[in-house]
Structure 1
Amino acid sequence: MTGTSTVAELVQRQWGDHRVGLRDRSRVLSHHQVAAGAAARAALLVDLLPRGAEPHLGVLLDNTPEFPLWLSAAALAGAAVAGINPTRRGAELARDILHTDCRVLVTERARLPLLDGLSLPGIRVLVTDTDAYGDLLAPYAAAKPGDAVVGPVGPRSRMLLSFTSGSTGAPKAAICSQGRLAAAGASLVAHFGVREDDVHYICMPMFHGNAVIADWAPALAGGAAVALRDRFSASGFLTDVRDFGATYFTYVGRAVQYILATPAHDDDRSHRLRLGFGTEAGPVDAARFQARFGVRLVEGYGSSEGGAAIQRTPGTPAGAIGRAAAGEDLAVVDPATGDERPAAQLSPEGRLLNGDEAIGELVNRGPNPFEGYWRHPEADAARRRGGWYWTGDLFFRDAQGYLYFAGRTDDRLRVDSENLAASMIENILARWPATTGAAVYAVPDPVSGDQVMAALALPEGRPFDPAAFADFLSAQPDLGTKMTPRFVRVLPRLPVTATNKVHRVALRREGFRCGDPVWWLPEGEDLHRLLTAEDVADLERSYEEQGRGDLLGR
């Protein structure tokens, strides 16, 4: 492992290793078979890519063995993988594929309906669970790692194009090189003591950086096995962990909450799992998870861009993310001036007493591995202002140097660990004939991240029709699965500032506790219903139980 500088070298190291390397419910491959399968796919890719084309392929798959096989193949070939988010729809989905210059798209039959009617000129679509796909691969079965490349294979070679939403417009594709991905894997191997007899359970979607950077890469670097779940299932989590002999997994906060909601049993600690690594579980749920399953959850902060990282270490206070990772010069600064913010003052209960002066944007003032966005120089410049890396996230720091997440500097919403752009949701809601205006903004989730709230202006005297609204939403081809508003505030007109801009600050401050009617979509229900005083009281209690009551304000 020492000195390995590329993902390709890590894949090549699997050659000749006949231990179990990759499996799901229907397939078991040795490390050697993974390397051989990757070599065959790399050779096929080289033949399929047109001469002079960018060496990029899109992968629109559930977590099947084909996903890591194509990641490995891309590394061997010197190509880059764009993970395509299946919750995107219509023209927005086509835009993601075309923007990243993919000339090959790897998908499966279950995802083909997403491509119906899309214009994808010059793109070869491979459908993995078909006879035609097997026939296409067959001539390359004897390929070996290194036989076929489309360009230089080195630490600077592009490896991933990971979409990450900004405040406005379409998602940006963050570049991750082979060197950075290999280094991230090696760092986690050292940090968590990954061993060759470990099994990394991947239940988070592999189009997201969480699964690839924090789960697949350390397994590859440490020689551990990978076990896949096609899509996350809370009810199937413990069964998978036991059947696969899993020792490590990654998560996002909502997933942890779903697992905790499953019925408890006397044998909940009967498994090999020892560690979970992720973001946004929240201290309350992390403690509950450890108490029930005997598994420690380690919280971290990072992004697909790789510009700043925070690691939770023993002794980190409740509510804090942790301290800056080794070698990073992180500071909380005034976004307007760049001046460092003073330390936070916290009450004995952990309440922030000087938020106005302590909260600022988190920046990395030292060298960092941010490698830019694909074909987006404006976004690159915004991230690298003044030689610093600007995260776009608000934090505060206590007197001991521990960092606490406080929110976001723009109109992004982070729902189930996915960033959403408010403007894109507004554009969809504006199509509803019943409304004369729409504003979308974040309200805090009781556990972690945000929930989507929309303010809709309806003509005087026109009632909100939840059934008609549901029918409208279901008919929108570009409405992603996480974009549906949890709360809908109905008012005769949108509040505006003196410059005639929508007064988002006021909307966010009032949230769902406002003077106008609010309709909400409780978990598991299909139609919005009127939010009552009893509902508000129940919601407030849920925030307090999770230690997030302060985020509601007032």
Structure 2
Amino acid sequence: MERIWMKNWPTRVPTKLHYSLGEKPLHEYLHHHAEEKPDQSAYIFYGTSISWQELDRYSDSLACYLQRQGVQKGDRIGIYMQNCPQYMIAHYAIQKIGAIVSPFNPMSKEAELAYMVEQINAKGIITGQELYPFVKAVKDKSENLEIVVTTNYLDFLSEGTILPIPEEVSMEKQTFEEAEDLLDIIRTYQPNFEAVPINIWEDVSLMVFTSGTTGRPKAAMLTYGNALFKTASTFEANGLNYEDRSVAVMPLCHIAGMVMGVNLPVYSGSTSVLLTRFEPETVITAMEQYKPQNWYSIVPMNMAILHHPGIETRDLTSLNRNMCTSFGMPITQDLVNQWKKVTEGCQLHEAAYGLSETHTCDTFMPADNVKLGSCGIPTHETDIRIVDLESGEDLPTDKEGEIAVKNPGVFKGYWNRPEATAETLRDGWVFTGDIGYIDGEGYLYFSGRVKEMIKSSGYSVFPEDVEALLIDHKAIAQVAVIGVPDEKKGESVKAFVVLHPQYKGKISETEIVDWAKEKMAAYKYPRYVEFLQSVPATGSGKVLRRLLKEEVRANE
């Protein structure tokens, strides 16, 4: 498709992308800031600051430890913890020695963790201490998992913190016989790891689990260059400034939270106020105390702040720009007006369209020409096509089809999944499995998903993943999972279950839900269970979830 969106390209945004410190891995940007402004705050965590010099030095020491434990270029190391400074230390330590970061969602339980560890043959995990029991259980059964490092969140909090501390952050410190402690490592190991040669456009630095178009989660391989390109592009296209502060509350284990919370501060050298999770009062207080200019949120967060008691007397006026993702709750003009009023002028708009396979942020919203309901226009060096699902031909403007994306952020493929890679990645184009269209001005609109991924509270839930976990229940003979509308979450998970004959009448739907709640992350376990005699399937046995969704819609 002709780049018709260029006629709406903002005049203040250069069309040619400029890398502020050149084409180099982001950890070299980190080292630059440590030398140029060593004492400036890189992250502020519930009132406690960690400087650029400290972040660089601590990650160097952890990198040295990992090398001493035999970690080599290309080895996969999982990060399994809440948002915290230790996440940044681990992320950049791993990448400094050419190893590969694989984020594990801290909401994942044992079976989910075991699946991810096995899929990538992880050599090590750096984890929050509260999650260690899951890690130990997986390690006891794993042939490849050798290194476990635990951390206590209080290790990076000083007394007299300004902000309310969540329960998971305030736990007393524990150490474990079969694991090393991160703080001990930082104190013990010198920051003198052995540098390794890195080709930023070829070497993989990150493996993010994603569904692709179908199936259980797969590890998408992203390079140092993918991360640099998307970070620089997001910075330039959105008109961000090197002096601006931001608030990071979205999960760092998600690709969007990673761009906004892990990469952008390190690229720009600006200070980020880091929070473990969203609590309206905490976020409001943080904004009043630290005066950030930028925030990345999802609509339910903005709604919660707008409805917070006494919000009209609070000071959110430092905010200039609020990039936001709808996730089932649209950004309406009324919401935009309310947000502008309470912040005295902050611009609220859709953040971007993107996916893990492209390191997200494939579009941006021109600040001077916002179109509500759209995802904005393609960003630097990005082409987007709309492809007919049957013929494979490109479609004209305003015609719906599959969204295909090509830019320097495109991944190298799925780890050890050549068939899935070939299905998604074709001649440099990522066929997203998403349905949308481009209007006459070049704005992209997202309509739905070809793939059956469920979006619950902003999290991606893969039906096959939930089904594989549910089938472990002794009473379940067959199961099919779909997403159903949920006013608060966007979608919730519903499971259609066929029981083994001996359990019929002896177990309830509620008991299945309660069991799943103990086995799965909170966003993933089914809120609804319906017993069936059989689930619809093709002759080859493939579950026809489409028919179940149609039945649910018919009964609404």
| TM-score normalized with structure 1 length | 0.80
Query: Which of 173, 184, 206 is the equivalent residue of 1:135?
Result: 184
Q: Distance in 1 between matches of 2:506 and 2:337?
A: 44
SS of match in other structure, 1:57: strand
Amino acid at match of 2:85: P
What's the CA shift for 1:381? 0.9
What's the CA shift for 1:366? 6.7
Q: CA deviation digits over 1:271-303, x for unaligned, max 9?
A: 422222242252224554334334323321112
Query: Which of 450, 453, 466 is the equivalent residue of 1:409?
Result: 450
Q: Tell which deviates more after alignment, 95-104 or 205-214.
A: 95-104
Query: Which of 510, 526, 529 is the equivalent residue of 1:485?
Result: 526
Query: Which of 135, 142, 149 is the equivalent residue of 1:126?
Result: 149
Over 3 Å counting, the alpha-carbon distance change for 1:65 and 1:499 in structure 2 is closer
What's the CA shift for 1:496? 5.2
Amino acid at match of 1:217: N
Q: CA deviation digits over 1:388-447, x for unaligned, max 9?
A: 320111112333332211111122212223222212222344455666643212234447
Amino acid at match of 1:290: K
What's the CA shift for 1:29? 1.8
Q: Distance in 2 between matches of 1:238 and 1:26?
A: 14
Over 3 Å counting, the alpha-carbon distance change for 1:86 and 1:364 in structure 2 is same
Amino acid at match of 1:46: Q
Q: Distance in 2 between matches of 1:49 and 1:296?
A: 49
Q: Distance in 2 between matches of 1:139 and 1:153?
A: 31
- Report the equivalent of 1:530: none
- Report the equivalent of 1:283: 331
Structure 1 residue 41 corresponds to structure 2 residue 62: yes
Aligned 1:329-348 pairs, distance under 5 A: 329-344=383-398
- Report the equivalent of 2:353: 301
Amino acid at match of 2:364: Q
Query: Which of 279, 282, 285 is the equivalent residue of 1:239?
Result: 285
Q: Tell which deviates more after alignment, 88-97 or 430-439.
A: 430-439
Instruction: Indicate if the aligned counterparts of 1:210 and 1:278 stay in contact, CA closer than 8 A.
Output: no
Q: Distance in 1 between matches of 2:484 and 2:235?
A: 36
What's the CA shift for 1:219? 1.4
What's the CA shift for 1:67? 0.7
Identity %: 24
Q: Distance in 1 between matches of 2:308 and 2:509?
A: 30
- Report the equivalent of 2:115: 95
- Report the equivalent of 2:31: 12
Aligned 1:360-439 pairs, distance under 5 A: 360-364=401-405, 369-385=410-426, 388-430=429-471, 437-439=478-480
What's the CA shift for 1:315? 3.1
Over 3 Å counting, the alpha-carbon distance change for 1:466 and 1:38 in structure 2 is same
Aligned 1:505-520 pairs, distance under 5 A: 505-511=546-552, 513-514=554-555
Instruction: Indicate if the aligned counterparts of 1:166 and 1:420 stay in contact, CA closer than 8 A.
Output: no
What's the CA shift for 1:83? 0.9
Q: Distance in 2 between matches of 1:505 and 1:164?
A: 21
Instruction: Indicate if the aligned counterparts of 1:58 and 1:84 stay in contact, CA closer than 8 A.
Output: yes
- Report the equivalent of 2:270: 224
Instruction: Indicate if the aligned counterparts of 2:260 and 2:296 stay in contact, CA closer than 8 A.
Output: yes
Give unmatched runs, 5+ long, in structure 2.
Answer: 1-19, 153-173, 176-180
Amino acid at match of 2:151: T
- Report the equivalent of 2:42: 21
Instruction: Indicate if the aligned counterparts of 2:215 and 2:462 stay in contact, CA closer than 8 A.
Output: yes
What's the CA shift for 1:153? 6.2
Q: Distance in 2 between matches of 1:307 and 1:110?
A: 29
Q: Distance in 2 between matches of 1:427 and 1:183?
A: 36
Equivalent residues, number: 496
SS of match in other structure, 1:46: helix
Instruction: Indicate if the aligned counterparts of 1:280 and 1:449 stay in contact, CA closer than 8 A.
Output: no
Aligned 1:315-354 pairs, distance under 5 A: 315-344=369-398
Instruction: Indicate if the aligned counterparts of 1:163 and 1:174 stay in contact, CA closer than 8 A.
Output: yes
- Report the equivalent of 2:516: 473
Question: Aligned-residue CA RMSD in angstroms?
Answer: 3.1
- Report the equivalent of 1:64: 84
SS of match in other structure, 2:356: coil
Q: Distance in 1 between matches of 2:206 and 2:541?
A: 41
- Report the equivalent of 2:17: none
Give unmatched runs, 5+ long, in structure 1.
Answer: 345-357, 515-535, 537-554
What's the CA shift for 1:495? 4.4
SS of match in other structure, 2:188: helix
Q: CA deviation digits over 1:282-340, x for unaligned, max 9?
A: 22245543343343233211122217712222434332222222332212111232122
| TM-score normalized with structure 2 length | 0.80
